[in-house]
Each structure stands twice: as structure tokens, then as C-alpha cells.
Amino acid sequence: MGLTHKSTGRVLRESAESVTRVSDDEIIIALAGNPNVGKSTLFNELTGMHQHTGNWSGKTVEYAEGVCRYRGEKIRIIDLPGTYSLNPHSAEEAVAREFICSPVPDCVAVICDATCLERNLILVLQTIKEAKAVIVCVNLMDEARKKGIHIDTKRLSESLGVPVVGMSARSRCGISEVLELFLSSKKLNNCKKDFGDGNYAEIAERICRECVTRESQKREQRDRRIDRILTGKLTGFPIMFFLLALIFWITIVGANYPSELLSSFFFYIQELLLRFTVYIGAPEWLTSLLVLGIWRTLAWVVAVMLPPMAIFFPLFTLLEDLGYLPRVAFNLDRCFKRCDACGKQALTMCMGFGCNAAGVVGCRIIDSKRERLIAMLTNVFVPCNGRFPTIIALISIFFVTVSGTAGSLLSALILSAVIIFGILLTFIVSKLLSLTLLRGTPSSFTLELPPYRAPQVGKVILRSILDRTLYVLGRAAAVAAPAGLIIWLFANIEVGGITLLRHCTDFLDPFASLMGLDGVILFAFILALPANEIVIPIILMAYSSSGALIDYSGLSELGELLRANGWNSLTALCVIIFMLCHFPCSTTLMTIKKESGSIGWTILAAILPTLVGIILCMTVSAIARILG
């Protein structure tokens, strides 16, 4: 009698016509609703799929399909893009309207937010007019009760002429009642009222006066007071930068020990592999290629990336679950408007902190093609998780002279300054693109500020690890192995008694010196195209002429190795700048090609940040030489 899940995987559809009925006995339900009402949360609970749920507008931009079985019946659920209206102003709203008005769904379940029912009822009234059968699911009833809001669902049902059920998807309260209505949807005899083409806003207001009562406004007043602080002109940006620095400090402090443990574990496995190759009598070159080349590169990437990601992503997701990230977008909206870009770019920029490829995919929420391209081309100026370890290491070695907690705090502050510089570059380059290749005026959009909610820590950790950390780590690991092969070949194949690696670094050295770098550093960035995490290992390999990636026991030893090869504070600064401003990794470039559908824009996405990085490094290096 209970609910069982069939996890079919996330199926993306492009039009309503592609959703066809598999059998006559299946029930097809469309989930519709405004953004941020918990629609995707309900979808996940019903289907057992782990689709990411965001707190900002338009997170779901395509169909997502899943299947659940309840009381022996097969229920097929289509999660539609979030929409405020069936009068489409964006691709998401057009997609939702097309499916709602089609004959495919047996019923449309409109999900509403109980804390702001009046706004949601406009979509309900439009759907009642267009769809053949409608169910209204009033979600977040628990949140409404905390705010002293009470909804008479029976009276609401009578006013609308359709079934209404109160629920709380996050706690699974009311799920069984929803499923019972789904089972009866084919036989549902809606006594839908004809609201005509009247003023839906006035009708929604009238219905809410009849069905909604409020005990007090204390919770709403509290949220407004908090918003005045978090989005205030004087306090919004300082708080935002403080939270950014706090997250980086926790990441820096927390990642050191597990990174050392992972490194020890992987290099212990390496010793076992070396012994095994000796035992089976494998040729020395094959041992070097497989173990010191491919395995060591893979081990380095995992040991360096996993700890900071496992800390950074949950912290970032907690801010998202709390409802703070939309406030970040609100604070940055005016800055992007001045750059003639879309305020939604702030959201995609935030996504880029974890992975630039994910940030590029997130650009789908931007309706204008011009503004979407600007966001994709500039997303790389926000350093992804793969670039953090190198930047943090160089800051700690060359710019922090104290140790302990004070050193960690200073490192976090300097890292935050680097991030802020990257954000400023995003604004500047966005403005330049708006004035040149991508001229136009910024489009308007509605940004909803959801209520503050206590984050579900367990789900946040699980979701951030499964949906983000392991995804990014898997991508990096997939490219690290072939990268290790290529690096080994460059370091071991000789031409004229000199390795290919040495030939390339010597060729690049004159140009690199103008940037405050050397040929080894510049070529390391080129070889690290698959994954930014291996820049430092390649540099160490080239300096040592070891023919394989080498490890270091700590930052002090790394600092000694770098200084022995001519590094100073200027070199470290130029490397940090170029790490911040250079071509995206191969995965991000492939994502840009897929999302833009253009080789030209993809090439520009590689050239643009690289030119910015070269100009900045040359400028800094020239100023340093002039000042002596």
C-alpha cells in the first residue's frame, strides 16, 4: 500500500510533444508552480531522484521526468520549469504553458507557497482555465504555521472549484493525500469555476481574504529587519565579504589534515603498485608510465581537491538552503545592471566558485542570448575549486609570515581579496563585451527573496557531496589520468638529448619572463588544460627533471623548491593573477561549446581571459621592474 520509487534517472525533454503515453493505465501528472515553492522537492520525494533544489528563480529550466508506484498504480510525474504566469515572458514559462495546455497530462498539480498564497493563486487561476484537470497543493504549511498564517484548505477548494491539499514536502507531511488525488486524477470531476478573463490579481486577493487568516506579523517583520541588514546599502556588501572570508577560512583550516591523510594513503598505494610491477617483471618504462605518470597524477588531483570541496560545497549549500544566496544576487544586481548585463549573472557567478562548468550550465536561467553569452564568457574570472589549492598554497608561502590561527585568518583575508578582484574583473569585462561584441540593454527580471528557513543540515551535506563534490571530483579524475599520460610523455621523450618538456619551456621562456613568470610555469598552465589542480605538480616535475610528478611533504618544502628555482613574491603574485585569469579547463570549454552551440564563442572564451591575464601580469611585472 505504500509508496515505492523507481529511479529512472533524470530525463530532459525539449518539448511537450516528446512526452508520450507509454501505456493506457499509467497516470501522467504535471507539477507546475512559481519558482521556490518546493516543487522540485516534492518531485524528489515522490520519485526518489536526487535532483538539486535551489532557492532562486528559474532553477529548473527543462522537463525532469520520474516514476513512482503507489498502491500498485504507476504514476509518471513531469516536473515543469518554474513559472509565475502562463503569459510567457521567457523560455521557461513558454515551456510550462505548452505542456499545461497540451492533452498529455491527466492532471496538473499546481504547487503553492502557503506563506505567500496570494501571489501563487494567479498561476492557479490561469491553470484552471487552461488545463483539463487541476489539483492545488499548498506546500510549506509548517512554515506558514510558524509565521502565524492559517489557510482554510476546504474553503479554498470551494472557492476554486478544484481539490486542495495542504502539505510540507520537506517533512513528507501530506504526501499520501497528494498521491491519493493523483490516483483519482483520471476520474477527477472538477467543478472548476469560470473566472473568465478578469483581473486575476484582484480575484486572488479576494479569495485570500476569505481563506487566509494571520495571527501576527512578527515573523515577517523579523525577516524584513534581517533583509534591511543583509541587503542594505551600507551593510550588505561588508556582510557578504565577511561570510565569504569565513567560508574560505574554515575551508583552509579544515582541509589541511585530511589532505595530508589522503596523500599518505594514495602514496602508500603507489608503493604497493611499484612493488607489484617489480614482482611481475614489468618493464621500467611501463612502470614509470602507469604508476609514476597516470596513478600519481590521479592521486594528486584527488588528494588536493577532495578535502576543500568536501568542506566548501556543504558550507555554500547551507547558505543556499538558508535563503541567503538570492540576497547576494540582489546585492550584485545593480552592479551587473551598470555593466549592461543581467542580474541573474550573480547566481551563475556564485555557482562558478564550485565549478566553472556548472556555472556555465547555470547560465540557462538567463533568458537573453546576449546576456547569457556575457555570463558564459566571464564565468572563468571566478576561481573554481580546482584553482583554490594553488592560490592558497602560494598565499601561505609568499605572503603570510605568521603561523597558526593568525596565519589562517590572514590567508583567508588575502584569498577573499583575490576573489573580490576576480569579481571586479567580471564586471569590467562584462561591460567591455556589452560595449563591443555584445551590445544591448539589460533586460529586467523578477528576483524572489524566499523566506529564511532553517537549513536541513543532513540533507545539505548529502546533497552537496553527491550532487556537487563527487560530480566535480569525478570530472577531474576522468581527465587527470590521460593528462598524466601526456605529461609523462613530454617529460620522458627526448629529441636531441633534451626532453620535449625542456624544449617547450625554453621556447616559452622569453615571453614568459615579460609576464613575471618563466617558461616552466607558462607551459605548466598549458599542460594543465584538463585540470587546473596539476599546475604545481608539473612545475615541480620540470624543475627537478625527474620524468614524473613529484610530491612535497608540506608548504615549507614546496616554498624551498620554488625559491631555489628563482621564485619570489613577484613571481607568486603573477602566478596567482594568471591562475585567476587564463583559459578555462577543457571540461568548461566543452560545456561552453555545448551551451552556446558555437566554436567561435568557445574560442573567444579561451582567448579573452588569457589576454586579460597576460596584460595584467605584464603590467604588474613592468611596474615592479620600474620600482626596482
Pairing state of beta strands 498-499 and 494-495? antiparallel
Number of Cα atoms under 13 Å in the Cβ half of residue 327: 26
Q: d(Cα 79, Cα 182) in Å, to the nearest integer?
A: 14
- Site of grid cell 549592461: 340
pLDDT in tens, 497-526: 888 989 999 999 999 999 999 999 999 999
| Residue 309 CB partners (closer than 8 Å, separation 6+) | 354, 385, 468, 469, 472, 473
How many CB atoms are closer than 10 A to CB 531? Answer: 24
- Taking the alpha carbons at both ends of the chain, their separation in whole angstroms is 80
Question: pLDDT below 70 — which residues of the chain?
Answer: 1-22, 49-63, 89-92, 188-189, 191, 216-220, 443-448, 463-473, 475-477, 479, 546-554
pLDDT at 143: 84
Strand locations in 365-442 (E): none
Say whether 611 sits in a helix, a strand or coil. Answer: helix
- Please state which architecture CATH assigns to domain 3-216: 3-Layer(aba) Sandwich (3.40)
How many CB atoms are closer than 10 A to CB 95? Answer: 22
pLDDT at 97: 84
Considering the chain, tell me which residue range(s) the CATH 3.40.50.300 domain(s) occupy.
Answer: 3-216
Query: What does DSSP assign to residue 5?
Result: E
Sign of the Cα torsion 32, 34, 38, 41 reads: positive
Alpha-carbon torsion, ordered 148, 154, 160, 161, to 10 deg = 170
Cell numbers at residue 203, please? 480575484
Cell numbers at residue 481, please? 589520468
Q: d(Cα 606, Cα 609) in Å, to the nearest integer?
A: 6
DSSP 90-142: SHHHHHHHHHHHSS--SEEEEEEEGGGHHHHHHHHHHHHHHSSSEEEEEE-HH
Q: Secondary structure of the chain: what % helix, strand, coil (to 5)?
A: 65, 10, 25
pLDDT at 471: 66
- Please, what is the angle between helix 369-378 and helix 345-352, to 10°? 30
Q: d(Cα 514, Cα 536) in Å, to the nearest integer?
A: 20
pLDDT in tens, 517-568: 999 999 999 988 877 877 887 888 788 776 666 666 567 788 888 999 999 9
